[in-house]
Amino acid sequence: MLKKIGRFALLILIYVIVIAVLLEGGLRLLAPNLPGQIGVAARYVVTGQPYSQSWEPAWQRSSEHFYALKPGIDDEVQYGSPTVSFHVSTIELWEGGGIGFRTDPVDFAPDAVVVGDSFGFCFTERVDCWVDLLASETGRKLVNLSQPVTGTVSHGRVLADFGAPLEPPLVLWQFFGNDFNDDYGLAVSNDEIEDVTADDSASTEADTSLGGWLRHNSAAYAVIETLFTGLYLGTPESEALYIKPLTATYGPNNEYVLQFGGEYEQGALDMSLEQNQIGLELTRKAFEDAQALVAGWDGEIVVIIMPTREEVYANITEPVMGREAIDKLASARLTMLDLCDELSLRCYDPTEDFIEHAQAGEALYHSDDMHLNPHGNAVLAELLQAWMGW
């Protein structure tokens, strides 16, 4: 009897091992095409990154701008998140410019140039970007000079170097709340100011538990854990700041998912932090310089202030995050509105208009990325046309 039980137990153990090996092998083989967070988990284990294919960012470090697009990019795939991909091509406005732009060759007198960060560059196919939609729907000739991972100081420099020679009658200046923080970061990286956050980073200890080892080395374990927790827990520290840990559903049939509450945004947009207040002063100076520059050819600056997803969808994010967290995110946008009044800048804040669309059940932003999706870009283009009377 004991021998039979032993053989039966051994047989079960063999079956379990075979199933585990097949599951592990199958998940590793299917990792590039697995959907959602389970795909992210499997790909982190198999390839060390969450994307379904390898890619190189179209932007690179720049001492003058923090980051700048590489010139001569030809239809390369870029990722905003594991689920958000799009193609990018760039040109130089003129030979030797050294920076790439996601725009057409400028052989015309533009009606406006656009400066901004990734919200002006757009994390969509170019045809779906609000800049290109605005141009095609109004017949206006626009030149998009936006650069991802940049702030207001950089935008002013781009305008001076590449926009001013065109002397556009209108400058559409896209602003997002982390621009104050980006201006601070650019100054620190160039040793122009002291880093006031140098002592703020908390040391983290590596997870040496069996679970920690398995989630980094077993696709099956990582996928099963992610199915139960809803989020891959082994994200590398270098990328953890950009993870959106909270989730809510919305839409007429709850068909849309919003992942939100990223740690990065909570710090980069919080105007109670000293670094962002320092960035505000750098931003103010950049806008003052830009106003004087544009006045030299009798042009006008119009600032477009982008709200966060958490503010626009506060009806579903506030119950999870709390009002204090939403207020932190809103503080940068409200500070920019105050700066608009102070500097007599003409500014458009689409937050309330976006909220109307959001409460109607529309998806304006990517699910797991902070940027506008194609529909959100289309809505912004439509709102801008009405607001500017085009």
pLDDT digits (tens, 9 = 90+) for 36-68: 778 888 888 888 778 888 899 999 999 899 899
What whole-number distance in Å separates Cα of residue 388 and Cα of residue 390?
Answer: 6
What whole-number distance in Å separates Cα of residue 384 and Cα of residue 169?
Answer: 17
**8 A C-beta contact, residue 136 and residue 193:** no
User: Residue 91: which H helix or E strand, with range?
Assistant: none
Parse the chain into domains and list their residue ranges.
Answer: 59-198+263-388
Where is average pLDDT lowest: 114-118, 219-223, 281-285, 342-346?
219-223
Question: For residue 232, is pLDDT > 70?
Answer: yes
Structure confidence at residue 209 (pLDDT):
83
Mean pLDDT of the chain: 91
Where is average pLDDT lowest: 154-158, 212-216, 247-251, 324-328?
212-216
Structure confidence at residue 322 (pLDDT):
96
Q: What mean pLDDT do residues 76-83 have?
A: 93
Angle at 151 between CA 149 and CA 155, to 5 degrees: 105
Question: For residue 163, is pLDDT > 80?
Answer: yes
Structure confidence at residue 379 (pLDDT):
98
Structure confidence at residue 210 (pLDDT):
81
The percent of residues in the chain predicted with pLDDT above 70, rounded, is: 95
Question: For residue 200, is pLDDT > 60?
Answer: no
Q: Which residues of 322-348 are buried (b: 16+ CB within 10 A; e: fewer)?
A: eeebbebbbbbbebbbebbeeeebebb
Q: What mean pLDDT do residues 160-183 have?
A: 98
Question: Which residue pairs from 24-30 have beta carbons closer than 8 angstroms and sit at least 24 positions apart in sequence?
Answer: 24/218, 24/219, 24/220, 27/219, 27/220, 27/223, 28/219
Q: Pick the more confident residue, 44 or 101.
A: 101
Categorize the per-residue pLDDT at 239 as very low, low, confident or very high, splitting at 50, 70 and 90: low
Annotation: CATH topology of 59-198+263-388? Rossmann fold (3.40.50)
Structure confidence at residue 240 (pLDDT):
64
Structure confidence at residue 233 (pLDDT):
75
Length of the chain: 390
Q: Pick the more confident residue, 152 or 42.
A: 152
Task: Give Cβ neighbours of residue 362 (< 8 Å, ≥ 6 apart).
Answer: 375, 379
Helix (H, G, I), strand (E, B) or coil at 265: helix
Categorize the per-residue pLDDT at 241 as very low, low, confident or very high, splitting at 50, 70 and 90: low
Structure confidence at residue 165 (pLDDT):
96
What whole-number distance in Å separates Cα of residue 388 and Cα of residue 343?
Answer: 20
Closest C-alpha among 352, 190, 369 to residue 265: 369
Q: What mean pLDDT do residues 358-386 have?
A: 97
Structure confidence at residue 2 (pLDDT):
67
Where is average pLDDT lowest: 91-100, 234-243, 308-317?
234-243
Where is average pLDDT lowest: 24-28, 146-150, 206-210, 292-296?
206-210
Locate tokens 């992942």: which residue? Answer: 259
Structure confidence at residue 202 (pLDDT):
47
Structure confidence at residue 305 (pLDDT):
98
pLDDT tens, 287-322? 999 999 999 999 999 999 999 999 999 999 999 999
What whole-number distance in Å separates Cα of residue 338 and Cα of residue 283?
Answer: 13
**8 A C-beta contact, residue 330 and residue 311:** yes
